[in-house]
């Protein structure tokens, strides 16, 4: 057997590291290009961009538009995530019974997940149109008159949440259902022997044991909702007025419609910081919850030890 | 497993050194202006046609010169495009150039155009645009200056006749890119293809039955719209409302009926103060007008108004849901065929302003050449054919390509005969045409200003205070349009 040549031995570590370096460069280059745009004043109206330092940040952070967009974004994320969590866990509990209907509904559950968000938004837009949609006749039939679709600020926000919930409740339900099915039977049998009713069992046993799974879904959905664009843009385009203008829509308008690339990137960078900070807090909280579920008082995130979906937790961390 | 021993000595590179170097390279590449330019920014604009590809065209003009070329066109879904498709075979036979047409609805058409031009890839050779788009696409050099092509007899057929275009239409494609500067100049950024004045179209049968007449003032119009909404359903026109106008949160909501009536009331979007633009959407008169407009829509307009584009507004007229439409004359004209309202529509110039003004805003669908096109000569062959008397007369008499941008087409007996068959259409057109022009102040941030204006209008419609909303709009816009 011949010895490996020396040059190959020396080169090997670099070759092994090369894919990771390329990956880092591939990810970091566009990111830093974006960051670089924020300190210039690029736009189609200004062909000779100059360095403006942090002016874009000062300008945007000092504008009402940013804070309004941030409020809308966070409100939407909280409302949609809460709705999806409650509905998703509810649906999972209903499906956690072995029956033919349950199995059929389980198959149907994933149908909305197969619909592209922009298609869902347009589909719902048609459903909600007062003149031709289905909602007005239904509301009229139950005695509710004066329906005006997404004309009002409150209505536009409400329906945006509804569409998001319609689309993503199944995602939460599937994760919660997987969690339910992995819970041990013995505590529930003991509770039944002790005569605990359904509500007590749910509050004291099911929910605490299920919470790490639900929390993974909550983190994913909350972060997705912070980055929402297609559903709201397709449904209301950010209107009426700026009632549903999220940070993403502000960035889109700045960068694409108004062709002010630096301002658009500044919006996006601010959104990235917000999402990163919130994700960091949520993922740390998830770690603590998983530790608690595993009976570990301190130490690093122990998703794997806790029997919670470690992969998902890692994914959330990466996200 | 043991790691191989790291070699030591001078000029030995470790993995960390490599990573550090790579990081420094990335940082330098990104932060250097060359890196940014490479991403498509800061590219030079047109240099006034000095090195135009038109200069390379010589010899006699020959329609077949670019036989075998395939052109890709980016088009709005529109009757003008339908007419082009119907006539495409003639162009292909005449030139041997194949046309591939991609169509998109107006609500996202211009985003598609912006992204295409921004890429500078030249995937599309020519495209539809409006006069206002020149204000955004011109400064970064996305548009080919058509002047050198028009002025080169080797590149342009003898019958092209640029003077045949109505002067204010051809002038709308000329601008020097200075905010607030009037339209005009030597550079031609687009060629007019079809245009729209903005007038009121109404259901003559409904008006007759209710004993109503078209409104002559804005206050009368608001009252008339409310009367129609109150009385039309009881007169056998089930579910009919008073007036359809656009309401979606986009620039296109402002330019038709709203800007026309706004201009007739003597109002302006901006005041030019030296080199600075001062928003004037919040003057007391503008606040009063905007409040009344929003109230008119709230009281007598459609439900779901905030999602209304020209498609919805005009199709409501055709479907018999709207008693009036204050929008492009062509939008209502297209509804006079194969709809529930066909044959029952009539036209009126719309309310006059306080001093009798019929100032009317204009929209010009035009054709432009992508400056990144790799087939500019063939693209010009298409542009001159598509805007020629030959195609436009055929499209205006055999299809729905109106209003005519060429005097020769507008004067054609067959065209006039066709329009005279529609009650009041031609008379209305002639009543407003002399005062029809682009009423907006030319400026580079047109889309921001008008989209924000539409959002403000939606807020006022939703019950927000008109003065506070428009004051905020003006305050927010001033630095943005002057930035």
- The string of pLDDT tens digits covering residues B429-447 is 999 998 999 999 999 999 9
Contact A33 B136 (CB under 8 A): no
Q: How many CB pairs under 8 A join A and B?
A: 157
Q: Could you tell me the pLDDT band of residue A311, with boundaries at 50, 70 and 90?
A: very low
Q: Could you tell me the pLDDT band of residue B50, with boundaries at 50, 70 and 90?
A: low
Contact A259 B476 (CB under 8 A): no
β-strand pairing of B270-273 with B276-279: antiparallel
Residues 6+ apart with CB under 8 A from B64: B95, B96
Distance from CA of B388 to the nearest CA of A (A): 31
**How much is the mean pLDDT over chain A?**
86
**B70 touches B43 (CB < 8 A):** no
Contact A147 B303 (CB under 8 A): yes
Percent residues over pLDDT 90 in chain A:
48
β-strand pairing of B345-348 with B270-273: unpaired
Distance from CA of A45 to the nearest CA of B (A): 6
* E-strand stretches of A136-178: none
Contact A241 B249 (CB under 8 A): yes
Nearest to B15 among A14, A28, A37 (CB): A14
Please give the pLDDT value at position B473. Answer: 96
Alpha-carbon distance of B157 to A130, in angstroms, equals 52
- Asked if pLDDT for residue B9 goes beyond 70, the answer is no
What are B278's strand-pairing partners? Answer: B271
- Asked if pLDDT for residue B144 goes beyond 70, the answer is yes
Angle at A35 between CA A32 and CA A39, to 5 degrees: 135
H helix runs in B245-283, sequence order:
257-264
Contacts of A41 in chain B (CB under 8 A): 483
Contacts of B19 in chain A (CB under 8 A): 17, 21
B10: left (phi over 0), alpha (psi -120 to 50) or beta: beta
Contacts of B44 in chain A (CB under 8 A): 47
Domains in chain B (CATH in brackets) are: 62-196+363-431 (3.40.190.10), 197-361+439-482 (3.40.190.10)
Please give the pLDDT value at position A130. Answer: 85
Instruction: Find, in chain A, the residue whose alpha carbon is nearest to that of B448.
Output: A258
What are B410's strand-pairing partners? Answer: none
Nearest to A239 among B43, B140, B458 (CB): B458
Contacts of B26 in chain A (CB under 8 A): 25, 28-29, 32
Contact A241 B455 (CB under 8 A): yes
Contact A47 B303 (CB under 8 A): no
**DSSP structure string for B170-236:** HHTT-----TTPPS--S----EEEEEE-EEEEEEHHHHHHHT----SBHHHHHHHHHHHHHHTGGGT
What are B364's strand-pairing partners? Answer: B195
Residue B254 CA, chain-centre distance (Å), reads 11
Q: Could you tell me the pLDDT band of residue B31, with boundaries at 50, 70 and 90?
A: very low
Q: Could you tell me the pLDDT band of residue A1, with boundaries at 50, 70 and 90?
A: low
- Asked if pLDDT for residue B25 goes beyond 70, the answer is no
**How much is the mean pLDDT over chain B?**
89
Please give the pLDDT value at position B22. Answer: 43
Please give the pLDDT value at position A296. Answer: 60
Instruction: Find, in chain B, the residue whose alpha carbon is nearest to that of A34.
Output: B30
Residues 6+ apart with CB under 8 A from A297: A291
Contact B445 A45 (CB under 8 A): yes
Alpha-carbon distance of B206 to B196, in angstroms, equals 25
Q: CB atoms < 10 A from the CB of B64, how many?
A: 11
Q: Write the pLDDT tens digit of every residue in A213-249.
A: 999 999 999 999 999 999 999 999 898 888 999 999 9
A315, HSE (Cβ side, Cα atoms, 13 Å):
14
Contact A33 B459 (CB under 8 A): no
The answer to whether residue B41 neighbours chain A at the CB level (below 8 Å) is yes
Q: Write the pLDDT tens digit of every residue in A183-195.
A: 998 999 999 998 9
Contacts of A153 in chain B (CB under 8 A): 462
Contact B451 A156 (CB under 8 A): no
Nearest to B111 among A24, A35, A257 (CB): A257
Nearest to A256 among B26, B115, B462 (CB): B115
Q: Write the pLDDT tens digit of every residue in B323-338.
A: 999 999 999 998 998 9
pTM confidence score? 0.80
Nearest to B253 by CA among B307, B194, B202: B307
Is the Cα torsion angle A62, A67, A68, A69 positive or negative in sign?
Answer: positive
Q: How far apart are the first and last CA of chain B?
A: 62
Distance from CA of A252 to the nearest CA of B (A): 10
B366: left (phi over 0), alpha (psi -120 to 50) or beta: beta
Interface test mutation site (partner B, options A126, A129, A240, A251, max chain B beta carbons within 10 A) = A240
Q: Write the pLDDT tens digit of every residue in B342-401.
A: 999 999 999 999 899 999 999 999 999 999 999 999 999 999 999 999 999 999 999 999
Alpha-carbon distance of B126 to B446, in angstroms, equals 22
Contact A239 B248 (CB under 8 A): yes
Structure tokens at B153: 């007899």
Contact B4 A13 (CB under 8 A): yes
Q: CB atoms < 10 A from the CB of A201, how many?
A: 16
- Mean pLDDT is lowest, of B198-202, B299-303, B325-329, B423-427, for B423-427
Instruction: Find, in chain B, the residue whose alpha carbon is nearest to that of A37.
Output: B36
Residue B338 CA, chain-centre distance (Å), reads 26
HEC string for A71-92: HHHHHHHHHHHHHHHHHHHHHH
Q: Could you tell me the pLDDT band of residue A2, with boundaries at 50, 70 and 90?
A: low
Q: What are phi and psi of B402, to 5 degrees?
A: -130, 160
β-strand pairing of B360-361 with B98-104: unpaired
Contact B45 A47 (CB under 8 A): yes
Alpha-carbon distance of B88 to B101, in angstroms, equals 10
Q: CB atoms < 10 A from the CB of B389, how many?
A: 17
**B208 touches B290 (CB < 8 A):** no
Helix (H, G, I), strand (E, B) or coil at B76: strand
Structure tokens at B347: 């036209």
Q: Write the pLDDT tens digit of every residue in B159-206.
A: 999 999 999 899 999 999 999 999 998 899 999 999 999 999 999 999
B328: left (phi over 0), alpha (psi -120 to 50) or beta: beta
Q: How far apart are the first and last CA of chain A?
A: 47
Please give the pLDDT value at position B49. Answer: 53
Contact A45 B250 (CB under 8 A): no
Contacts of A238 in chain B (CB under 8 A): 249, 455
């Amino acid at each position: 057997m011949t010895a490996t040549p020396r040059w190959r031995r020396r080169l090997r570590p670099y070759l092994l590291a090369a894919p990771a370096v390329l990956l880092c460069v591939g990810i970091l280059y566009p990111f830093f290009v974006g960051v670089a745009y924020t300190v210039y004043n690029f736009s189609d109206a200004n062909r000779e961009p100059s360095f403006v330092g942090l002016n874009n940040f000062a300008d945007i952070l000092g504008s009402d538009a940013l804070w309004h967009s941030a409020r809308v974004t966070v409100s939407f994320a909280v409302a949609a995530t809460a709705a999806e969590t409650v509905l998703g866990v509810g649906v999972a509990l209903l499906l956690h019974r072995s029956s033919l209907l349950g199995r059929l509904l389980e198959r149907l559950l994933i149908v909305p997940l197969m619909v592209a968000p922009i298609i869902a938004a347009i589909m719902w837009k048609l459903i909600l149109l007062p003149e031709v949609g289905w909602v007005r006749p239904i509301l009229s039939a139950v005695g509710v008159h004066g329906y005006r679709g997404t004309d009002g600020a409150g209505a536009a926000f409400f329906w945006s949440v509804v569409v998001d919930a319609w689309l993503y409740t199944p995602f939460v339900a599937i994760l919660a259902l997987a969690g339910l099915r992995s819970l041990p039977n013995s505590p529930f049998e003991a509770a039944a022997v002790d005569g605990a009713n359904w509500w007590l069992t749910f509050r004291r046993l099911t929910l605490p044991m299920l919470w790490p799974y639900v929390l993974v879904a909550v983190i994913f959905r909350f972060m997705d909702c912070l980055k929402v664009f297609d559903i709201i843009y397709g449904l209301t385009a950010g209107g009426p007025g700026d009632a549903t203008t999220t940070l993403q829509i502000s960035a889109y308008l700045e960068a694409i419609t108004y062709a002010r690339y630096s301002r658009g990137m500044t919006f996006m960078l601010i959104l990235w910081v917000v999402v990163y900070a919130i994700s960091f807090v949520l993922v740390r909280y998830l770690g603590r919850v998983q530790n608690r579920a595993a009976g570990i008082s301190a130490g690093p995130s122990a998703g794997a030890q806790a029997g919670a979906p470690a992969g998902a937790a890692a994914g959330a961390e990466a996200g | 497993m043991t790691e191989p021993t790291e070699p030591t000595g001078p000029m030995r590179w470790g993995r960390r050194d490599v990573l550090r170097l790579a990081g420094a390279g990335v940082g330098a590449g990104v932060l250097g202006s060359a890196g940014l330019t490479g991403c498509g920014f800061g590219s030079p604009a047109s240099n006034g046609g000095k090195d135009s590809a038109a200069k390379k065209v010589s010899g006699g003009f020959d329609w077949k010169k670019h036989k075998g070329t395939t052109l890709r066109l980016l088009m709005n879904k529109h009757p003008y495009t339908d007419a082009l498709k119907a006539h495409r075979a003639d162009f292909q036979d005449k030139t041997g150039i194949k046309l591939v047409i991609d169509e998109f609805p107006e609500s996202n058409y211009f985003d598609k155009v912006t992204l295409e031009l921004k890429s500078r890839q030249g995937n599309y050779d020519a495209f539809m645009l409006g006069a206002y788009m020149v204000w955004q696409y011109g400064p970064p050099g996305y548009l080919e200056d058509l002047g050198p092509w028009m002025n080169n007899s080797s590149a342009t057929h003898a019958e092209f006749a640029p003077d045949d275009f109505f002067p204010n239409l051809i002038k709308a494609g000329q601008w020097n890119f200075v905010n607030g500067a009037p339209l005009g100049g030597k550079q031609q950024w687009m060629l007019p293809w079809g245009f729209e004045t903005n007038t009121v179209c109404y259901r003559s049968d409904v008006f007759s039955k209710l004993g109503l007449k078209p409104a002559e003032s804005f206050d009368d119009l608001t009252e008339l719209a409310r009367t129609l909404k109150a009385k039309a359903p009881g007169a056998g026109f089930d579910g009919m409302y008073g007036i359809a106008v656009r309401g979606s949160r986009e620039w296109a909501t402002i330019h038709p009926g709203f800007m026309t009536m706004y201009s007739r009331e003597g109002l302006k979007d901006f005041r030019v103060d030296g080199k600075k633009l001062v928003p004037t959407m919040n003057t007391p008169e503008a606040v009063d007008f905007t409040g009344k407009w929003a109230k008119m829509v709230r009281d007598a307009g459609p439900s779901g108004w905030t999602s209304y584009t020209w498609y919805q507004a005009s199709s409501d007229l055709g479907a018999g849901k709207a008693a009036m439409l204050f929008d492009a004359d062509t939008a209502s004209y297209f509804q006079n065929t194969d709809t529930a309202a066909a044959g029952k529509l009539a036209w009126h110039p719309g309310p006059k302003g306080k001093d009798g003004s019929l100032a009317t805003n204009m929209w010009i669908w035009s054709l432009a050449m992508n400056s990144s096109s790799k087939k500019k000569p063939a693209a010009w062959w298409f542009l001159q054919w598509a805007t020629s008397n030959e195609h436009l007369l055929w499209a205006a008499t055999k299809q729905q390509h109106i209003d005519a941008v060429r005097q020769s087409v507008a004067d054609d007996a067959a065209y006039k005969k066709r329009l005279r068959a529609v009650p009041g259409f031609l008379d209305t057109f002639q009543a407003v045409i002399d005062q029809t022009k682009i009423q907006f102040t030319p400026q580079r941030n047109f889309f921001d200003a008008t989209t924000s204006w539409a959002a403000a209008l939606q807020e006022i419609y939703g019950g927000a205070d008109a003065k506070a909303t428009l004051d905020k709009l003006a305050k927010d816009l001033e630095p943005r349009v002057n930035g």
